[in-house]
Amino acid sequence: MDGTIVDTEPYWMRAEEELVARWGGTWTHEEAMQLVGQGLWSSALVFRSRGVDLEPQQIIDELTDRVLEQIAEHVPWRAGARELLVELREAGVPTALVTMSVRRMADTIVAALDAELGRRVFDVVVAGDEVERPKPYPDAYLRAAEQLGVPITSCVALEDSEPGVASAVASGATTLAVPFHVPLPASPAYTLLDGLAGVDLELLTREHAARRAGEAVR
């Protein structure tokens, strides 16, 4: 979700900087970039180590509240994301949103998306507070496939961060990496794309078939 469907990473970075500043510390852009794609509970421990004297859940709640305030002013959609989701829905392809943001954040984005497109887009939503182990573990993707009622090996995952890509690859899904704020290296484990603009069902189908054919040959 964050960095793939919506460009909320700047919102998170602003919230992080403000939080640390309130506790007398400093938080640089470089430090914020290191947390892109990480689970919120892991990130909360980092902020505690930087002097934020709150419980991890309090940190998560404060950051989420601040990001939601910014989303209420403007939802920063990523180019191509809405068009792809509409095409998948019209083709009858089951879809799941797999995010490390908490459920109320995910529900806010999904509601905004549904309202803008005039239709329900996602069949399943798996949020970060609903899995025991965050990305880069595969748990969230495996849970999504189970709820969709399909084998994970029949799924295509779209991810923008290193933890997200690692999670998707580890799950067994065909993985397409669409880096945005943080570059990702080329790898035989996934397909690297420039972004979602122009990505369509035909491309997803082609990449999935090629990936599975390659595995069969090996």
**31-70 tens-digit pLDDT:** 998 888 777 898 999 999 999 999 999 999 999 999 999 9
DSSP 8-state secondary structure symbol assigned to residue 180:
S
Higher pLDDT: 40 or 111? It is 111
What pTM was computed for the model?
0.87
Share of the chain above pLDDT 70, in %: 99
Contact present, 171 and 141 (Cβ < 8 Å): yes
Q: What local confidence, expressed as pLDDT, does residue 124 receive?
A: 97
Q: Order of strands across the sheet with 156-159? A: 156-159, 174-177, 191-192
**136-169 tens-digit pLDDT:** 999 999 999 999 999 999 999 999 999 999 999 9
Contacts of 42 (CB under 8 A, 6+ apart): 134
Q: Tell me whether the CATH fold assigned to 9-73 matches the one assigned to 81-217.
A: no
Average the pLDDT over 201-216 and give the result. Answer: 90
> Which SS3 state, helix, strand or coil, does residue 201 take?
helix
Q: CA 21, CA 51: separation in Å to the nearest integer?
A: 10
DSSP E strands in the chain: the ranges are: 96-98, 124-126, 156-159, 174-177, 191-192
Correct CATH for 81-217 of 3.40.50.10330, 3.40.50.300, 3.30.930.10, 3.40.50.1000: 3.40.50.1000
- CATH topology assigned to domain 9-73: DNA polymerase; domain 1 (1.10.150)
- Domain ranges across the chain: 9-73, 81-217
Average the pLDDT over 6-35 and give the result. Answer: 94
Predicted confidence band of residue 216 (pLDDT cuts 50, 70, 90): low
Write out the two tokens for 86.
């509409």
